[in-house]
Structure 1
Amino acid sequence: MVNADHIVKRVIATGALALLLVALSFDLQAQGKKKKSRDGVPNEISENDRFQAEYYFVEGEKFFMLEDYAKAYELFSLSNDIDPKSSGVHYKMAQILAESGDFEKALTHANEAIKLDSDNKYYFLLTAEIYTNMSNFQEAASLYERMISTLPNNESYLFDLAALYIYQDKLDKALDVYNRAEDFFGVLEEITYQKQQIFIQQGKIDLAIAEGQKLIDTYPDESDYKLTLAEVLISNQKEKEAIPYLEAVLRDNPSNAQASVRLSEIYRKNGQTEKAMESLHNAFSNPSLNVNAKVQLLAGYIAQLPNPELETAAKELAVDLIEAHPDNVDAQAISGDLEFRLGNKEKARSFYVKALELDNNNYNLWQNVISIEMELEDYQGAAQHAEQAIEIFPNQALLYYFGGTAYLVKKDYRKAANNLEAGKKLATSDPDLSGFIIGQLGDAYNGLEDYPKSDAAYEEALKINSDNDYVLNNYSYYLSLRKEKLDRALELSKRLVEKNPDNGTYLDTHAWVLYVRGDYKESKFYLEKALADAENVSGTIVEHYGDVLFRLGKIDDAVEQWKKAKSMKDTTKLIDKKIADRKLYEE
């Protein structure tokens, strides 16, 4: 779409200009008691009235400059009542009304100002502005045409006129105006680019290209104009024609990243992979080339991954980038982004940590490092980095959540609770995060065996989100282990499996609640469903299944399940004793 945003509202409010208008207006009035106005009607006004009108005008201008527009308008109105033929008064009243949004009334005064004095360009500009605000671009354009044709030295407003024609989708008229501007000012970048946009919108690509070439011929040393024309050619599927311009840019400025990138893209599309990479390597390995341009380019490659064709190229460019800018935080960070996108989390963390060594005030980098460490189950690293980040960003609730979670997994329940309590205070405006933090507070206090605080935290989390699966699972399971509030435990675990009928972990929780309540047949049913979820089967589930079978009198089957559980993770410390004695022992 053609850019017409360079229409600028021109509101003339400076004291000097206003006083000049006062002088012009009343100077004309002072020439005679019965001076004729421009419409030929005698302007009957006494000397005393003339001075009174002038007094109100000057006072109005004073309040106008003080931005007391209501008082200013009142005084201008008094002046207008005495001398309705003062163009300056009508102009000021129109100006205030336009500023307040009363365009219809403003238009009456603005047109009257022009009628009384058609030699003042500011009257035309204000009236055109009012028409523009009323979306009457046709009338606004007419006023500009009249002003430019009748008043001298107003060619700069041809750009505003062209924009008004663009708003009306009168592209041929806009072109005509830009040609008039070019005849007066010569070949200029702004004019050329606007004409190109119009030609492109009209589908006249060859004319757009010709305009770009004319600009290059006029300013042959300006590389940017060659690059712009190359972009026009590329965007209109004329990549091969763009190559000479891009090569010319690189001859003038070998470190031009945009030209290198565009040229490499053309080579790559043409199957010239080697030439494509050579072009980019030259740019990326050049330390004098702006690092931000390289980072943005590599970010563009990352956004297109996964793509086997681009993966190798992106990795090679990242190597070039680090070699050229080893101490640049953005170079390290974008290399981390690349490795993370490729699934190389260890490598990604290394780059992010290096970036933090260069600049530890980047919150996103801290978040990236800690998130990766949580995924890698490096809870010691996550806890340590969370503490370091909190020293720099003490008001970020997420950092306390990360730290609390890491300590929770490490079974350092006191530090977990301290972090989570601090995070809770900061997360009040984020219900989702607040719910997660409070839910994990329930786990921390359960680990500390502070069961009243644990239960209170779980209940608070469920008030925030009654369908919080994490809380429904842990709360009901811990109640079953404590053999307390079993009705509440059953209510929660039942809701959990109704929402997640195929999740083995949740089915096991519900089964264990049933087991503790003595409903062994129902417990067996849900445990067998849990065992069907092969991905989530753990030693805990298999051991629980053995316990249920024992309760149902199936001793041999129970022992077989216990043996199977022992070969897996997450069993109780009593598993060996159960197998050896062929008896059920419970903690």
Structure 2
Amino acid sequence: MRAQNHKKGAPSYHPKAAELVIQGAIYELEERYDKALDAYSEALIYAPNSASICYAVAKNYIMLGKVDTGMQMLERSIKLDSNYVDSQRLLAALYHRKGDIEAAEKHYLQIVRIDPSDADAHLSLAGIYQARKEYDKAAVHYQALIDQGLASADIYFKLGELYIEQEKYDAAEQVFESYIRDNPQDERGYLAVGAIYIAKKDTTGAIQWYRKTLQENEGFMGVRDELANTLVAVKDVNGAIQLFEEVTRNDSLDLAANIRLGDLYFTKGDTSKALDIYAKT
């Protein structure tokens, strides 16, 4: 849940300012942004220290294509109340769009200070730091989303891949094991852990991991395939063949398993057996 700018109820305005804010909101709903801007600008005369009215004025300048003027009003809003998070969000996005990354970063950092659950700000910061190769800083923001239960699968994988790029394999493994705990039926987590063993050149560990995974999830065909590839890499083609013979014994019509089995017999050099399997497929 994103942080709100109000604490209890609506902001307290001068009565005339309140009337004009309501009128401005109606014009906005009607997409009459010039009229909305007039109403909000007049409201600001009666409530010159209102961060929320400055924000409303800014939005309508932006809707009318006057982005620089809108940004100036957002800066004024933030000067009045640095915790007015809607102004921080809009200004961060505008600076980011203009390519002023340092200014955008400053406002994104303010956003996550005000609202630590703001996923967009965390993701934007992670992207900024990753582009700069400041991987530790990027990891902090991905991890913040995971710790708060706000992370999609994509976030786990971005963080894990970031650690793998730095050869921080233990940290990557912890990320993917956490993903597996939360998503035990998603094969991708198990494949990612196996890929870490391969990246470490620990084929024995990879084989053990894949075998353990298949014992608990025999329907994971991606894991079965990666185990077969790893066995072939260590010259155990017969072991790889056994993996797919197990599948075809249970389901002789499994097309993918039969094709893979035929391919493995070709790899072994048994062309006759491979062609026989293909002919029956």
Could you say which TM-score interval applies, normalised by the shorter chain? 0.7 to 0.9
Please report how far the alpha carbon of residue 181 of structure 1 lies from its aligned counterpart in structure 2 after TM superposition.
Answer: 4.9
What is residue 10 of structure 2 aligned with on the other side?
24
1:134-145 alignment runs, 5 A limit? 134-145=98-109
CA contact under 8 A between 2:173 and 2:196: conserved in structure 1?
yes
- Which of 141, 155, 158 is the equivalent residue of 2:117? 155
Matched, 1:196 2:182: no
- Counterpart code for 1:155: S
Alpha-carbon distance change, 285 to 92 in structure 1, aligned in 2, over 3 angstroms: farther
Q: Deviations over 1:331-353 (max 9, x none)?
A: xxxxxxxxxxxxxxxxxxxxxxx
CA contact under 8 A between 1:132 and 1:140: conserved in structure 2?
yes
CA contact under 8 A between 1:56 and 1:75: conserved in structure 2?
yes
What secondary structure, in the 3-state scheme, does the structure 2 residue paired with 1:113 have?
A: helix
1:443-454 alignment runs, 5 A limit? none
- Which of 172, 193, 199 is the equivalent residue of 2:136? 172
Alpha-carbon distance change, 75 to 247 in structure 1, aligned in 2, over 3 angstroms: same
- Counterpart code for 1:136: D
- Counterpart code for 1:107: M
Q: TM-score, normalised by structure 2?
A: 0.73
Aligned-residue sequence identity (percent) comes to 18
Please report how far the alpha carbon of residue 214 of structure 1 lies from its aligned counterpart in structure 2 after TM superposition.
Answer: 5.8
CA contact under 8 A between 1:255 and 1:286: conserved in structure 2?
no
CA contact under 8 A between 1:91 and 1:123: conserved in structure 2?
yes
Q: Which has the higher contact order (CA 8 A, sep 6+)?
A: 2
1:238-277 alignment runs, 5 A limit? 238-277=202-241
- Which of 59, 67, 73 is the equivalent residue of 2:31? 67
CA contact under 8 A between 2:51 and 2:80: conserved in structure 1?
yes
Q: TM-score, normalised by structure 1?
A: 0.39
Please report how far the alpha carbon of residue 182 of structure 1 lies from its aligned counterpart in structure 2 after TM superposition.
Answer: 5.4
- Which of 93, 105, 119 is the equivalent residue of 2:69? 105
Separation in structure 2 between the aligned mates of residue 247 and residue 159 of structure 1, nearest angstrom: 37
Please report how far the alpha carbon of residue 107 of structure 1 lies from its aligned counterpart in structure 2 after TM superposition.
Answer: 1.9
Matched, 1:119 2:83: yes
CA contact under 8 A between 1:171 and 1:198: conserved in structure 2?
yes
What secondary structure, in the 3-state scheme, does the structure 2 residue paired with 1:67 have?
A: coil
1:349-388 alignment runs, 5 A limit? none
CA contact under 8 A between 1:196 and 1:211: conserved in structure 2?
yes
Coordinate RMSD, CA, aligned: 4.4
- Counterpart code for 1:24: A
Please report how far the alpha carbon of residue 262 of structure 1 lies from its aligned counterpart in structure 2 after TM superposition.
Answer: 0.8
What secondary structure, in the 3-state scheme, does the structure 2 residue paired with 1:24 have?
A: coil
- Which of 132, 138, 152 is the equivalent residue of 2:96? 132
Alpha-carbon distance change, 266 to 78 in structure 1, aligned in 2, over 3 angstroms: same
Separation in structure 2 between the aligned mates of residue 92 and residue 318 of structure 1, nearest angstrom: 68
CA contact under 8 A between 2:173 and 2:193: conserved in structure 1?
yes
Separation in structure 1 between the aligned mates of residue 268 and residue 116 of structure 2, nearest angstrom: 59
Please report how far the alpha carbon of residue 257 of structure 1 lies from its aligned counterpart in structure 2 after TM superposition.
Answer: 1.0
Query: How many residue pairs were aligned?
Result: 273
Alpha-carbon distance change, 104 to 186 in structure 1, aligned in 2, over 3 angstroms: closer
What is residue 193 of structure 2 aligned with on the other side?
229
1:448-527 alignment runs, 5 A limit? none
- Which of 90, 104, 113 is the equivalent residue of 2:54? 90
Separation in structure 1 between the aligned mates of residue 211 and residue 118 of structure 2, nearest angstrom: 36
Separation in structure 2 between the aligned mates of residue 229 and residue 319 of structure 1, nearest angstrom: 36
CA contact under 8 A between 1:209 and 1:232: conserved in structure 2?
yes
Please report how far the alpha carbon of residue 229 of structure 1 lies from its aligned counterpart in structure 2 after TM superposition.
Answer: 0.8
Please report how far the alpha carbon of residue 263 of structure 1 lies from its aligned counterpart in structure 2 after TM superposition.
Answer: 1.1
Separation in structure 2 between the aligned mates of residue 62 and residue 310 of structure 1, nearest angstrom: 77
Please report how far the alpha carbon of residue 110 of structure 1 lies from its aligned counterpart in structure 2 after TM superposition.
Answer: 1.6
Alpha-carbon distance change, 253 to 81 in structure 1, aligned in 2, over 3 angstroms: same
CA contact under 8 A between 1:137 and 1:167: conserved in structure 2?
no
Please report how far the alpha carbon of residue 104 of structure 1 lies from its aligned counterpart in structure 2 after TM superposition.
Answer: 2.9
CA contact under 8 A between 2:57 and 2:70: conserved in structure 1?
yes
Alpha-carbon distance change, 146 to 220 in structure 1, aligned in 2, over 3 angstroms: closer
CA contact under 8 A between 1:227 and 1:245: conserved in structure 2?
no
Q: Which 10-residue stretch deviates more, 104-113 or 180-189? A: 180-189
Q: Deviations over 1:134-159 (max 9, x none)?
A: 2333333322333333x3x5334473
Please report how far the alpha carbon of residue 94 of structure 1 lies from its aligned counterpart in structure 2 after TM superposition.
Answer: 2.8
Where in structure 1 are there 5+ consecutive unaligned residues? 1-9, 11-16, 31-49, 323-587
CA contact under 8 A between 2:126 and 2:141: conserved in structure 1?
yes
Larger Rg: 1
Alpha-carbon distance change, 133 to 79 in structure 1, aligned in 2, over 3 angstroms: same
- Counterpart code for 1:154: P
Please report how far the alpha carbon of residue 66 of structure 1 lies from its aligned counterpart in structure 2 after TM superposition.
Answer: 3.0
Alpha-carbon distance change, 80 to 311 in structure 1, aligned in 2, over 3 angstroms: farther
Separation in structure 2 between the aligned mates of residue 75 and residue 197 of structure 1, nearest angstrom: 50
- Counterpart code for 2:117: E
Matched, 1:146 2:115: no
